[in-house]
Amino acid sequence: MRLIDPAHPFYRPAWRRYLLTILPLAWAPVEWHAGNDLWAYLFAAIGGFLAWNLIVAWRPPDQEQADRPDTDQD
């Protein structure tokens, strides 16, 4: 089971993917400055995870379907 499904239509607009990535990465320094190291690391890890899945490795769902081999062939 995947934690996040980048093929979901909600993530199609680029501004949503970037916003969802930037928010936890921007909050991590706030927590760090407040002295909450654990929360800072947690938000940085979430931001990094989202950056990888929604920006770096993201492909449009149409392209993802085209890259898959057709399993119905004999």
Strand, helix or coil for residue 19? helix
Asked if residue 19 is part of any domain, the answer here is yes
pLDDT at position 70, please?
60
Is-contact 47 30, C-beta < 8 A?
no
Asked if residue 34 is part of any domain, the answer here is yes
pLDDT per residue as tens digits for the range 32-73: 999 999 999 999 999 999 999 999 988 887 766 666 666 555
**Which residues lie closer than 8 Å to 36 by C-beta, 6 or more apart?**
none
Percent above pLDDT 90 for the chain: 64
* Domain count of the fold of the chain: 1
What is the residue-averaged pLDDT of the chain? 87
Mean pLDDT, range 5-16, rounded to an integer? 91
Asked if residue 7 is part of any domain, the answer here is no
Domain that holds residue 19: 12-60
Asked if residue 72 is part of any domain, the answer here is no
Asked if residue 29 is part of any domain, the answer here is yes
Q: Which pTM value belongs to this model?
A: 0.77
